[in-house]
Amino acid sequence: MATKLGRARSASIDDPFAAHLAPPEGETAEERTVRLAAAQKAEKTSRQIDEVLLQSKKLLDKKKSNVKILLLGQSESGKSTVLKNFRLRFTPQYFDAERAAWRMVVLLNLIGSVRVICETIESELAAPEFTLVSDIHRQRCADLAPILREEEIMNQLISPTKIQGEVYVRPGGEWKSTLATSEVAQNSASVVLSMRDEIETLWADTAVRELLEKKDISLRDGGGYFMDDVSRVTEPDYVPTDSDILRARIKTIGVEEHFFEKESASGTRGVKDFWIYDVPGSRGSRAAWIPFFDMVQAIVFLTPLSFYEVLEEDTRVNRLEDSVVLWKEICANVHLQNCQLILFFNKMDILKAKLRGGLIIKEYVPSFADRPNTYAGATGYFKEKFRAYHKRTSPKPRSFFYYETTAVDTRSTAKIIGAVHEEIFRKHLQESILI
């Protein structure tokens, strides 16, 4: 008896878990089956958790090793359009898969333009004296009321809430899938098709064009681009072109994270994957930029030369002045001292059109003085201003990269995107001692 007791004590000392792992005293065969099944289930769950943690760690390590590009700029600077250009160049198949969703966005833009026109007409008719429009125009707008109701129906599909009266979509592709497959959206498209003659008649009206000009409303700068092509974009078999998708507008809220896998030639070394982060540009959202400054290799900073406009969210602030303040802050940030800063003067097609229309630069920018009131004169002047801030405020010397872009021009922007991509990767590889 003593010998058996000694062995039991020895086993307990050698294996402190033995007592806990031993079957319960008096366990039946049925209870044993249940216990072992529970143990197997717990072990399987544990392995699954370990696998998820391992995959998360691999993804985090992958992100750390890949190039990260941050798109910065004020609201309406063209960040989303530049992002589409990256996707068009590096993930064309994924881009193609979204065309059905963008068809619906084009129709939403078309309806939105009709709404702007009708609201402008109603406002003019409500004035004490009006001469440009009449009750005929009021009736035309009343006839188009059905498609304005479809706008609200489609907006409810993709975003049940609004922010300050504007519809926004959240990050991710769920809203695209909804628009592409929803029967409700298809029915809305049919309603728009049934009223395209009425839309074309409204848009062809000289009085309407004069009214929009009087109110300084330029629909062609935004989604109104599609008003010139109503017949094409309302066809049942319409498939948006690359240019259509780049011009289609839909507002986003939150941070968009996009992964790009760039195929590299066989036998070559270097990083092939990269991430792009598109962050909100409105003044109230810029605090969200700071967390993305960590480990970012390059910032593409977009600014239209809109010295003749004010911010949508704060009409007391000039758009270009706001861009200059942002640029100086980004250049001076010590956490970004090793980051490549790439400046895009975007929407240059709009500036050219404004200058052709008689825009006088020095009326808005007195320091422009008597320099040539031309496109070259404007871009040269502002380029040197931004270059000077870059040189003076950067914590340490770095190269100045600058491009003039029209993001809706796929051909020219593709070349710029390619050049920017190669420069970013070349620097990253040098710092990684890979070349």
Binding residue positions = 76-81, 246-252, 346-349, 407
Cα–Cα dist 280/278, whole Å: 7
| Element spanning 233, H or E | helix 230-233
Coil/strand/helix, residue 396: coil
| Strand-by-strand arrangement of the 67-72 sheet | 256-261, 273-278, 67-72, 298-304, 340-346, 401-404
Residues at the binding site for Mg(2+) are 80, 252
Task: List the one residue out of 435, 421, 430, 261 whose CA is nearest residue 338.
Answer: 430
* Residue 130 to residue 432: CA distance in whole angstroms: 67
> Residues within the annotated binding site for GTP?
76-81, 246-252, 346-349, 407
Residues 6+ apart with CB under 8 A from 366: none
Amino acid at 259: F
Q: How many CB atoms lie within 10 A of CB 263?
A: 7
What whole-number distance in Å separates Cα of residue 295 and Cα of residue 63? 10
Give dist(CA 306, CA 318) in Å, integer: 8
